[in-house]
Amino acid sequence: MVSMDSSQGIQINASSDELSELGKCLLQSEDMYMTLLTICFNSLSWKDTINCQRSASVLCWTLLKQVLGCNLLPEAVTWLYSSVLKGLQMHGQHEGCNAALTQLALLIYESLRPRYAELRFIMNQIPDIHVEALEQFDQKTIQSTVSKAGEKKKKEQFKRLIAGTVGVWLLFFTLFTLSPVHIILHVI
């Protein structure tokens, strides 16, 4: 899922106050880190709304942002983002889950879209998406020039873009359902 020199381990954000010493220690092992990341993103589509909301609002982004500077495989990025959208499909009708999953999807899209065009392909697969609105949002994301005042507007625009995922079984989920184990075993 991550490309790195095997002697280095995971390059974690050392200044992060979100992780305990145990958490930072666990992230030094690539196998353990990938297992934690896989479990967290898989849990977004479990039939447990409380777990989904907690994973989306606390765990997933905390773990993922530790490796944003690494070279993630495009298949892994696709799987991670699709996992969030699967969670929205399953739990999006619950206000708390919807807010947490939408925020997570936005964070992932903003952080990884400039390097991974695959995210745009996934967004194009969402039912009833307005291609022109997606194009405008995509350009703003790549340019990354949104002010604090425009942050709320950006969140609302993104929420409208992904609204087609809520409660609808999406064909693209079947296209991107590689096993997380399959992705992990194919590290560059």
Domain boundaries along the sequence of the chain: 2-185
pLDDT of residue 17: 61
- Statement: residue 83 has pLDDT above 90: yes
Q: Which residues contact 70 (CB under 8 A, 6 or more apart)?
A: 2, 3, 4, 10, 11
pLDDT for 174 beyond 70: no
CB 87 within 8 A of CB 97: yes
Mean predicted confidence (pLDDT) in 156-168: 80
178 — pLDDT class (breaks 50, 70, 90): very low
Best mean pLDDT range from 44-48, 140-144, 151-155 = 44-48
Mean pLDDT score, 154-176: 69
Q: Give the mean model confidence (pLDDT) for residues 164-176.
A: 56
Q: Categorize the per-residue pLDDT at 145 as very low, low, confident or very high, splitting at 50, 70 and 90.
A: low
pLDDT of residue 140: 78
Task: Specify which residues 72 forms β-bridges with.
Answer: 2
- For residues 1 and 4, give the distance between their C-alpha atoms in angstroms, rounded to a whole number: 10
Region 92-97: what's the mean pLDDT?
89
DSSP summary character for residue 117: T
> Which ranges of 118-163 does DSSP label H, i.e. alpha helix?
118-124, 131-143, 151-161
Percent of the chain with pLDDT over 70: 76
62-88 average pLDDT score = 89
Average pLDDT over residues 134-141: 83
Residue 5 has pLDDT above 60, yes or no: no
> Given a cut of 80, is residue 155 above it in pLDDT?
yes
Whether the pLDDT of residue 51 is over 80: the answer is yes
Query: Is the per-residue pLDDT at 109 higher than 80?
Result: yes
- With a pLDDT cut of 90, the percent of the chain lying above it is 31
Q: Secondary structure of the chain: what % helix, strand, coil (to 5)?
A: 65, 0, 35
